[in-house]
Chain A
Amino acid sequence: MDKLISTLMLALTAAGLAGAPALAQTAAAPAVSMDVQNIFNTMLFLIGGFLVMWMAAGFAMLEAGMVRSKNVSMQCLKNIALYSTAGIMFWVIGYNLMYMNVGGGFFGTPTPVSFPEAGKGVVDKAANYAAASDWFFQMVFCATTASIVSGTVAERIKIWPFLIFVVVLTGVLYPITGSWKWGKGWLEVRGFADFAGSTLVHSVGGWAALTGAIIIGARKGRYQSNGGVVPFPGSSIPLATLGTFILWLGWFGFNGGSQLALGTVANAADVARIFVNTNIAAASGVIVVLVLTQIIYKKVDVTIALNGALAGLVSITAEPLTPSLWVAAFVGGIGGVIVVFGVPMLDKLKIDDVVGAIPVHLVAGIWGTFIVPLSNKGASYGVQLLGIVSIGAFTIVTTAVLWYALKFTIGVRPTEEEEMAGMDHTEVGIEAYPEFGSGAPRVI
């Protein structure tokens, strides 16, 4: 939001110049008109927005590839359902709860959003973009938060309890913590920095995933009483890889779009810079994983390499604009370190995270948020920690209460027999791969 105001100031100054004859070779070349800036800003939101929407496909494919065949239909169903649920909840209460009249406080006004009638082309005077484009861009971020939870608790959760959780997460919890920063709430006032959501999206999703994994419990058979860990390898490495690349692509919209303005040469350069830093962080995360897993396991683990890319992306998300290329590589590289050690550590703690979302989103999200002051001198480590801890505490408590409430009312987990048969059989009734399935007649 601060970027918008400074951009507006620049634009207003430039607009004054644009009226004069275009003769002088001044350092400040005439900028485009306010209308054109509006159009570019709106375009950035729309394009960035649909790129982030595409991340929903990325999550779906990554998760489908990391779960066993008997749970693939369920994972696909969860992903399309949660994306849709987020879209509705963010319309019905989420957006205004996050953005309307927060005024340095703790939440906005929970009412449905509405937009100017078609063809009116009303410009939001304070911000210079189409109102609906901002809603669209913010909505897909809300959906991303819910996607994070879906991967961790896979293979042992029922569909309706999960969706009820998503309703509350996307309609209430995400908007409240989001209001503290992007909605101009109390954290924004104190100078907390989170450019595109390392904390607001990724850690929030990660905390919700962590409390879920602990309260729901591990998949049956994963952890033996003697301390052994039993792997349940995923059903499709190609799908998991495709999903990761889709997420990587979508992230250019996630981080690039968060510049929130494209109507000036300076903003365009910033968006370009963000794309570059984003890519470098992801690549660095992958390389670090390749090297570390080769050293530790004598073989490179492709699934952890995929996690490394995502952890690099999450880490740079809190501040993708100011870092130099070296700092971006460093920040992303540490993301790689986080997943290499985080994944087996969770197993040691008997916390069953099917896709590694907790190291990737929660831990890397905390790291990315914390390290912002390294490249952004306007931020401070103390305030970053304040944001991390306050949002963490709020999310842990609220999501834990929600998981427990679901667990002790309608129940969250299938029975052991249902879990063994697989969620596709139990909850969906449709096998993901019927020609190779266990019960269905062979299709010629």
Chain B
Amino acid sequence: MKLITTIIKPFKLDAVREALTAAGVQGMTVTEVKGYGRQQGHTEIYRGAEYKVNFLPKVKIEIAVPSQQADTVIESIKNSAQTGQIGDGKIFVSSVEQAIRIRTGEAGDDAL
């Protein structure tokens, strides 16, 4: 099993969610986060004083998928989240040791 974590631009959330559903993903967890990569932040002025806005709002999506599905899911995310402008985000893949469905107790791929 793989845990796919992706950081995307907030306005892309709906597009990514639809693409993931089409790719067979049955659940996800979404968090509102702040961050920057090479996009960096920008400078604002408040009452004559400059300040750097270092962090930009982003959305983090976490999905657990069977290992064989990982590549399809990554492709779906990449295509739907892209704008071509800097700040599109990143995708991280890590291994999941175990997954359990709380209601039924199913484990492994059956829990996903």
In the complex, A427 has a CB within 8 A of chain B = no
Give which listed residue, B46, B48, B50, contacts A233 with CB less than 8 A: B46
The answer to whether B48 and A297 touch across the interface, beta carbons within 8 angstroms, is yes
- Chain B neighbourhood of A230, CB < 8 A: 49, 51
Question: Considering residues B48, B49, B50, B51, which has the most beta carbons from chain A within 10 angstroms of its beta carbon?
Answer: B48
In the complex, B86 has a CB within 8 A of chain A = no
- Chain A neighbourhood of B45, CB < 8 A: 297, 299, 301
Query: Interface residue tally of chain B, by bracket?
Result: under 10
Which residue of chain A lies nearest to B45 when distances are taken between CB atoms in the complex? Answer: A297
Q: Which of A216-247 contact B (CB under 8 A)?
A: 229-231, 233
Which residue of chain B lies nearest to A297 when distances are taken between CB atoms in the complex? Answer: B45
B32 to chain A, nearest CB (A): 12
Q: Which of A340-375 contact B (CB under 8 A)?
A: 343-344, 347, 356
A297 to B50 CA separation, bound complex (whole angstroms): 10
The answer to whether B51 and A343 touch across the interface, beta carbons within 8 angstroms, is no
Count of A-B residue pairs with CB < 8 Å? 30
A233 to B47 CA separation, bound complex (whole angstroms): 9
The answer to whether A356 and B47 touch across the interface, beta carbons within 8 angstroms, is yes
B52 to chain A, nearest CB (A): 10
Question: In terms of DSSP, what is the predominant structure of the interface of chain B?
Answer: strand
The answer to whether A304 and B51 touch across the interface, beta carbons within 8 angstroms, is no
The answer to whether B46 and A347 touch across the interface, beta carbons within 8 angstroms, is no
In the complex, A303 has a CB within 8 A of chain B = yes
Which residue of chain B lies nearest to A232 when distances are taken between CB atoms in the complex? Answer: B46
Q: Mark B23-54, 1 if CB is under 8 A from A, else 0.
A: 00000000000000000000001111111000
Question: Considering residues B46, B47, B51, which has the most beta carbons from chain A within 10 angstroms of its beta carbon?
Answer: B47
A231 to B45 CA separation, bound complex (whole angstroms): 8
The answer to whether B51 and A303 touch across the interface, beta carbons within 8 angstroms, is no
Which residue of chain A lies nearest to B48 when distances are taken between CB atoms in the complex? Answer: A344
- Chain A neighbourhood of B49, CB < 8 A: 229-231, 344, 347
A344 to B45 CA separation, bound complex (whole angstroms): 11
A280 to B49 CA separation, bound complex (whole angstroms): 29
The answer to whether A344 and B47 touch across the interface, beta carbons within 8 angstroms, is yes
- Chain B neighbourhood of A299, CB < 8 A: 45
A303 to B46 CA separation, bound complex (whole angstroms): 8
A233 to B52 CA separation, bound complex (whole angstroms): 12
The answer to whether B47 and A301 touch across the interface, beta carbons within 8 angstroms, is yes
- Chain B neighbourhood of A229, CB < 8 A: 48-50
A145 to B49 CA separation, bound complex (whole angstroms): 28
Which residue of chain B lies nearest to A301 when distances are taken between CB atoms in the complex? Answer: B47
Q: Which of A259-311 contact B (CB under 8 A)?
A: 297, 299, 301, 303-304
Q: Mark B95-109, 1 if CB is under 8 A from A, else 0.
A: 000000000000000
A278 to B47 CA separation, bound complex (whole angstroms): 25
A304 to B45 CA separation, bound complex (whole angstroms): 12
A356 to B49 CA separation, bound complex (whole angstroms): 13
- Chain B neighbourhood of A303, CB < 8 A: 46-47
The answer to whether B48 and A347 touch across the interface, beta carbons within 8 angstroms, is yes
B42 to chain A, nearest CB (A): 12
A296 to B34 CA separation, bound complex (whole angstroms): 30
- Chain B neighbourhood of A297, CB < 8 A: 45, 48
A343 to B45 CA separation, bound complex (whole angstroms): 13
- Chain A neighbourhood of B51, CB < 8 A: 230-231
- Chain A neighbourhood of B46, CB < 8 A: 231, 233, 301, 303
A to B CB contacts below 8 Å, 7 in the list: A229-B48, A229-B50, A233-B46, A297-B45, A299-B45, A343-B48, A344-B47
Closest 10 CB pairs of A and B: A344-B48, A231-B46, A229-B49, A231-B49, A231-B51, A297-B45, A343-B47, A233-B46, A343-B48, A303-B47
Known: A229-B48, A303-B46, A347-B49. 8 other contacts (CB 8 A): A229-B50, A231-B47, A231-B51, A299-B45, A304-B48, A344-B48, A344-B49, A347-B47
